[in-house]
Chains A and B, each alone.
Chain A
Amino acid sequence: MKLDGNAIAGPLAEVFGRDVTLAVMTCSGCHESAVIARAMVYVTAMGSVARCPTCDRALLVLGPGPGARIRFSMPGVSSLELTPDEPDAA
């Protein structure tokens, strides 16, 4: 199912310990930047894949592990910028 970065706010909060939907990701493929909320997210029963809104590269992958574990990777992110609590950081 194709959704957006809002859809993985919960699992990402488990990874980062806070809401990161306003964090800015830079794609290692096309070098465009966007907040996580703007990523195209494909939610599947195997895991969720957040893709670059410009070039579709897989930026973040949230896969399950045994039990309730989450396996998180950032295969297509060259940098991640976190701005604490700024409503207009987008």
Chain B
Amino acid sequence: MSFITRGFSGRGRDRDPRLPPGQTLVEDWPVLSAGPTPDIDPADWEFVVATENGRHTWNWDEMHALGVEDITVDIHCVTHWSKLEMAWRGVPLDKIFENVETSYDYVMAHSYGGYTTNVPLDELLDGQAWIAFEADGEPLTPEHGGPARLLVPHLYFWKSAKWVRGLVMMPSDDPGFWEQNGYNLHGDPWAEERYW
């Protein structure tokens, strides 16, 4: 029964050719919190990769020792905002997987607080993903996923799991938290893979 309310246009929805379809540029950095914000001391932080063969773990210093990179990337949230040319610092997943043997093709990222999201392994390698500690020159705050979050900028930003604590290898592409609740298994912003 929807009808138009006179004079209502909604918030400005301008277009920019650098943006994927349906996205709007923002200058601030919106926070999307679907649960309590965990408070994790880097001294207690531990990162785990679990495969069919066993577990690999890194503490905060061991992770940094793998080699931190500076990168500049655009990020695109499925809720229609994008930020262009954000400076990040983090360890590429290529370094993490150098010594990990697995025959499985899919990854479930797990976060402190229970959040999960699924990504194919080949979309995390070859310079496509990082464990990030800093954005715009500052350590990541807890509300933005600090002390460490997954950064997979070529997919919608829900794939860049805040408060990441590990990756579990899977033989099939099982859905994570939002993927079980209506969001696309893959999430390519240029193909507008928002929902199922």
Contact = CB atoms under 8 A, between A and B. Distances in A.
B54 interface: no
Interface in A15-70: 42, 44-47, 49, 51, 56-58, 61, 63-66
Nearest to B194: A66
B193 to A, nearest CB: 11
Contacts of B182: 47, 63-65, 71
Contact of B36 (A56, A65, A75): A56
Contacts, number: 58
Contacts of B180: 61, 73, 75
Interface in B145-166: 158
Interface residues of B, number: 21
A66 B195 contact: yes
B33 A63 contact: no
B97 to A, nearest CB: 29
Interface of B: 30, 32-36, 77-80, 114, 158, 177-178, 180-183, 194-196
18 contacts: A2-B33, A42-B35, A44-B32, A44-B79, A45-B77, A46-B32, A46-B79, A49-B35, A51-B36, A61-B181, A63-B181, A65-B182, A66-B194, A71-B181, A71-B196, A73-B180, A73-B181, A75-B180
